[in-house]
Structure 1
Amino acid sequence: MIGKLQCIVLDCPDPAALARFYAGLLGGEVDRPDRRWSLDADWSTLHTEDGTVICFQRVADHRPPRWPDPAHPQQVHLDIDVADLDAAEREVLALGATRLSDAGGWRVYADTAGHPFCLIPG
């Protein structure tokens, strides 16, 4: 092993808003003090209960990916296991997600900054 994953970083236009979106989806604490990062208008974090850290970085000219459009690649996406796909869909839509498609037993959505993520029956 060369290293250990510290966090996942998503570019976006509004870091605090996207952190709150993912807190609603995954639970956890937004902008918990952490010696590894400074928190400000350009950087926000989510520490999930399982120890995963997702960071959100402001990019002034953020251009969201368009799934599935190779001219605008995904860049990154998250797969999220859920117990009840229909219930999970209602909740992510209420958070502001956009449904993009069905994909072989799971569903693809865009978060509020346009990043795709999949809900997968667990």
Structure 2
Amino acid sequence: MRGLKSATVGLFASAALVLALPGAAQAAPVEFFYYTTAQGAQVLRSPETDQCYHLSQRLQYGSEVLNKTDSTARLFQGTGCLGEPVLIVEPGEVSTDLKLHGAQSVEFVPAT
């Protein structure tokens, strides 16, 4: 399992590096990445602010998220982004927090 997690961190680090390279003719894509052991890396492209997105699979221990948006990502246990968020991921942050376990939806709000 340790090798799988290392490969995942490498995947997210590579994605962050590519998105951060200067000199690109176009603006870097605005994306939210999440990784599950069952489905691998998934991406939400250009998520809208104040919208709730259902994740394709419930996040488990060992899941990771990378927030490459300019919004704060709030992750929730159930679908529909209801109740209190279990985890907040600021723009540019990577999280492997154990609180990700069970998250099924994400909402993007303006960063403060």
Instruction: State the TM bucket, normalised to the shorter chain.
Output: under 0.3
TM-score (ref. length: structure 2): 0.26
TM-score (ref. length: structure 1): 0.24
